Amino acid sequence: MPGFRGGRLHQIDVSGTAGRLSLDMDERIRRRRDMMRLMPELPEVEAVRRRLEPAMRGARITRVLLRRKGLRRPFPRAFASRLEGRRIRSVDRRGKYLLIALDSGDTLLMHLGMSGSFRIGRGATRRKSAAAGTRTRHDHVVFTLSNGVVLTFNDPRRFGVMDVLGDGPLASHGVFAAMGPEPLEPSFGGAALARALAGKRVALKVALLDQRIVAGLGNIYASEALHRAGLSPLRRSSTLATTAGRPAPGGVRLAVAIKAVLREAIARKEHPGRAGRFRVYDREGEPCRTPGCRGTVRRISQAGRSTFYCPACQR
């Protein structure tokens, strides 16, 4: 058994042909825990939006099939009937949420949770093969559209969310009322970031995960942006703003870095052939990729989540 080394049950060799890591049990458990928390972040959700938009926009929802009572929480009352017969005006994103605007004024809100994904098919569902049966076991919601598209939401862990928001400005709805700026909007920059971080004592990495500070960032891209900006994840958030709440130099740098890592990640999702690699995320013990830096990537825990950074060039 490849996991056994010299009788030490705690060593497991995870090297395939290319890997050379040897992880002990604690590390393995920690990694698994982190993997399970690997929620889709802005780039993943944006990639889904770009795939859904051409399939959905302009079509009418003819049928909504709910295979269970809910996902993370129950579907709202009259969920299907508020959607059926309605035309889809637009397919947007806010933070990590997908927003499907309907001609009734309602908005279908969807969140991928940890494991949610969409399949875009056409025409009636095929007869089930054994393999398809396993795959479709977690197909919880099926939307049939007037253009022949069948959109299936699959979510093995069922942490996804689907809801219908009534008419009225988005900002008046629960989660969106407190949500921070969209980092890819032109209006987002050092000034907006400084305003959000001014006076905050919390560590910078922890602040970046807070959706009220910036929308859409999660564990991966927060670490990546900090590395790109050369800022320590442990730094106190308020140091990126002057006492007057204007951006300190690091604040401008970080806003630029956030935009850059998100844009590059979206591009990678759209052209997976050019698989890029993370600068620090999941690279503990490996050499830093900052040109001229001889540091080694470290992993620490902040607010229960892994942070990866280079202590040599991130200050």
**Residues at the interface with Zn ion (CB under 5 A):** 288, 290, 293, 295, 310, 312-313
> What is the C-alpha to C-alpha distance for residues 103 and 58, in angstroms, rounded to an integer?
10
Min dist CB 227 to Zn ion, Å, is 7
Place of tokens 């942070």: 307
Min dist CB 223 to Zn ion, Å, is 13
- Is 41 annotated in the active site? yes
CB–CB of 44/111 below 8 Å? no
For Zn ion, the closer CB: 62 or 296: 296
The single residue of 82, 94, 96, 200 carrying the catalytic annotation is 96
Q: What is the torsional sign of CA 211, 217, 222, 225?
A: negative
Closest to 214 measured CA to CA, from 273, 262, 166: 262
Min dist CB 80 to Zn ion, Å, is 52
* 104 CB-side CA count, 13 A: 16
- Is 63 annotated in the active site? no
Backbone angles phi, psi at 56, to 5 degrees: -110, -40
- Is 40 annotated in the active site? yes
Min dist CB 313 to Zn ion, Å, is 3
The single residue of 30, 60, 259, 305 carrying the catalytic annotation is 305
For Zn ion, the closer CB: 293 or 300: 293
For Zn ion, the closer CB: 89 or 235: 235
For Zn ion, the closer CB: 138 or 227: 227
Quote the tokens at residue 123.
């025409």
- Is 269 annotated in the active site? no
Quote the tokens at residue 278.
């993370």
> What is the C-alpha to C-alpha distance for residues 205 and 307, in angstroms, rounded to an integer?
8
Active site residues: 40-41, 96, 305
